[in-house]
Amino acid sequence: MPRNQIDFRHRAQLTELMDEPCSRELMRACLQDLARTNRWTFTHRPTLHWLNTIVDATPHLPSPLRILDVGSGYGDSLREIEQWAAKRRIAVELTGVDLNPDSAVIAAEAGPVSSRIQWVSADIFDYTPAEPVHVVLSSLFTHHLAGADIIRFVRWMEEHATLGWFVNDLSRAPIPYHLFRAFSKVTRMHHFVQHDGPVSIARSFIPEEWRSMCVEAGLREPQFQIESYIPARLCVSRRKRL
């Protein structure tokens, strides 16, 4: 479907270049530009806000707090969390899981030598954590999945996250779609990002769709929350009462 004919009432059936095979050098350049975009658009702010609410609402916080990031990519989300935990003096064990084997290498190279984040290459549905996981996170991951796999992923998070889970993704709408197309061209981002950014928005979900998928996964409101954040973020979360 041509970009100028996208119907935002429905999820676009488009593919992203970064989901196709490419060299590690090409993937690294793409992920670096995505990380810059994440900084400019305050991508990590909703995740850190939610983590603060989890910590503040848990009288006996596990130590270390085990956090798993699914679709970890360049690793910038977990590095932000590592800094957040240090500032709050919270002992953490951080693990990033990504299907692309190059991502684990790229994420490890991008971090400081002092970082203790573990990077794993695996299909999340075949992955069994070595230790119980307290929190499962994902950022800009779920729009890469088919609807049936998102329902499966929600069930996976429900099974493995003892304190809760948080999905940080995009909201499908025409304004952010067209704004990002223009912004990525003006800033001369990597050609993968220029293509995939708008496609990601067109492939993302709206609240009604998330609500339906969570219910199909076995949850009911108010067990899960759906919240919008500026700019163009739609986040879905679950806090469990222990």
**pLDDT tens, 159-214?**
999 999 999 999 999 999 999 999 999 999 999 999 999 999 999 999 999 999 99
Q: What is the DSSP letter of 171?
A: B
Whether 200 contacts 140, CB under 8 Å: yes
**pLDDT tens, 66-123?**
999 999 999 999 999 999 999 999 999 999 999 999 999 999 999 999 999 999 999 9
3 state DSSP class of 181: helix
The pLDDT, as a whole number, for residue 242 is: 60
Level-2 CATH architecture, domain 25-239: 3-Layer(aba) Sandwich (3.40)
- Compute the distance between CA of residue 36 and CA of residue 115 in angstroms, rounded to an integer: 20
Average pLDDT, the chain: 94
Whether 106 contacts 33, CB under 8 Å: no
Q: What is the DSSP letter of 241?
A: -
- Compute the distance between CA of residue 144 and CA of residue 150 in angstroms, rounded to an integer: 9
**pLDDT tens, 123-168?**
999 999 999 999 999 999 999 999 899 999 999 999 999 999 999 9
| 157 conformational bin, left if phi > 0, alpha if psi -120 to 50, beta if neither | alpha
Whether 100 contacts 71, CB under 8 Å: no
The pLDDT, as a whole number, for residue 4 is: 54
Whether 82 contacts 94, CB under 8 Å: yes
